[in-house]
Structures are given as structure tokens and as C-alpha cells.
Structure 1
């Protein structure tokens, strides 16, 4: 049995499809969702949303948000998503290294916060490339 998933931003529908399994980037770790999951509303962190259909995973990079899970329906509300157009492993690995250095070299709280957000995005990009390849 499959479930319905919709990913929405304030101005458009990113995807509306069926899935066998969904993995969400929760604030305290990944949340796996299968058909018949208990009802739940949860906050989402910056990270990788994965949708599995017919043994194939589709990754979507989220900028944080909320998810509502209700038995066989998952609704994800986010401020923004990052398009996965032509990501190269060497390129995203270099971005990850730069983001890690930025976190290590940050001197103010604002610099650390901004650098940690970029680090989360870089990690999600590397994970997405691994799922796409």
C-alpha cells in the first residue's frame, strides 16, 4: 500500500505524489514514515527529504519547515527547497569542506549560526548526490 505526499512552499506545490516510504529531516534526527503511521505534526530541520516509490529514492533538499503525518498522508510545508539540478560530487564535497571551515573559523554567534546553516545545506547536497548516483 502507498501513501500520498505533498511538499508545499508558500507560492507553489513542489511535488504531489504517492510513496512507499518517506524519510523526513526532523529537528532531533530522521523520521521514517510508512503507510499507517500514527498521526503526528513535527518541525523539520534543514536537510534531505527522501521519497521512496517503486524501490527508487527521490531526494529533495528542504530549508526547514513543518510536516503533518496522518495515516497514509504526509504534508510537508516549507519556506523553500533547493532544486537538484546538475549537482557534481566533487563540487558539493568542496562546498562541504568550505562550510566546515567557515564553522570552525566563525568568531561571533551570528557567524557561527550562518555557517552552521550553510553546513547543513552542504551536508544535504552531498547526501542528495549520493542518492542520485
Structure 2
């Protein structure tokens, strides 16, 4: 059997498809979902959602949210997603380095939190590029 997955933002449906396997960016680590998974609701961190269908992975960068898993159905509700538009490996690596530097120079807690979120997005971009290449 296959898993039905839907990814939704407040503005639109990002995807509605089937998958053999789904990997979610949970707050405490990655959550892998296979056919027949136990019912679960989990908070999601900024990171990479991966959908596997027919031995091919499709990455989607999520910016926080929730996921509901119920046996063969996964519903992902997120604040927003980041589109992967022709970002090259060199550029993604540069963005990751810049984000790491921003954490180092952050002066306030808010600046550190914002920089940490950017670091998570930059890391997810780099991971997504690796899955696409």
C-alpha cells in the first residue's frame, strides 16, 4: 500500500500525492513514516520534508508547522514553504556559511533566533540540492 500525503499552507495546497515513504523534520529529530504508521500528531521544525515515490525522493523545505499521521495518511500543515528555484551548490554553501556567521555575531536573543532559523533553512536547501542531484 501507499501513503497519501498532503502539504498545506494557509494560502494554498502545496502538494497532494502518494508516497512509499515520508521523512518529516520533527522538533526532536527526523520522523520517518511508512505504510501502516501508528496515529501521531507532531510539531515540525524548519527543515526538509522528503517524499519517496518509486525510488525517487522529492524534497520540500518547510518553515515550521504540524503533521498528523494516521496509518496511511499524512497531513502536513505549515506556515510556509520555500520554493527550490535553481539554487546551485556553491550558492547554497555560501548561504550556509553566511547563516553560521550571523549566529556568531548576533547580539540579542531575537537576532540569535532569527539567525538560527536562517541556518536551518540554509541547511535544508543544501540537503535538498543533494537529493535533487
Residue of structure 2 in register with 1:132 after alignment: 132
Question: 1:72-111: per-residue Cα shift (whole Å, max 9, x none)?
Answer: 0000000100011111000000000000000011121111
Find the aligned partners of 1:41 and 1:109 in 2 and give their Cα distance: 29
What is the 5 A alignment of 1:69-108? 69-108=69-108
TM-score computed with the length of structure 1 as normaliser: 0.99
Find the aligned partners of 2:5 and 2:43 in 1 and give their Cα distance: 16
1:14 lines up with 2:14 in the alignment: yes
Residue of structure 1 in register with 2:3 after alignment: 3
Higher strand share: 1
Gaps of 5+ in 1: none
Find the aligned partners of 1:22 and 1:87 in 2 and give their Cα distance: 23
Find the aligned partners of 1:87 and 1:94 in 2 and give their Cα distance: 11
Find the aligned partners of 1:35 and 1:87 in 2 and give their Cα distance: 33
Task: Report the number of matched residues.
Answer: 133
What root-mean-square deviation, in Å, do the aligned CA atoms of Structure 1 and Structure 2 show? 0.5
Q: Which aligned runs of 4 or more in structure 1 are off by greater than 3 angstroms?
A: none
Residue of structure 1 in register with 2:116 after alignment: 116
Question: 1:40-85: per-residue Cα shift (whole Å, max 9, x none)?
Answer: 0000000000000000000000001000000000000001000111
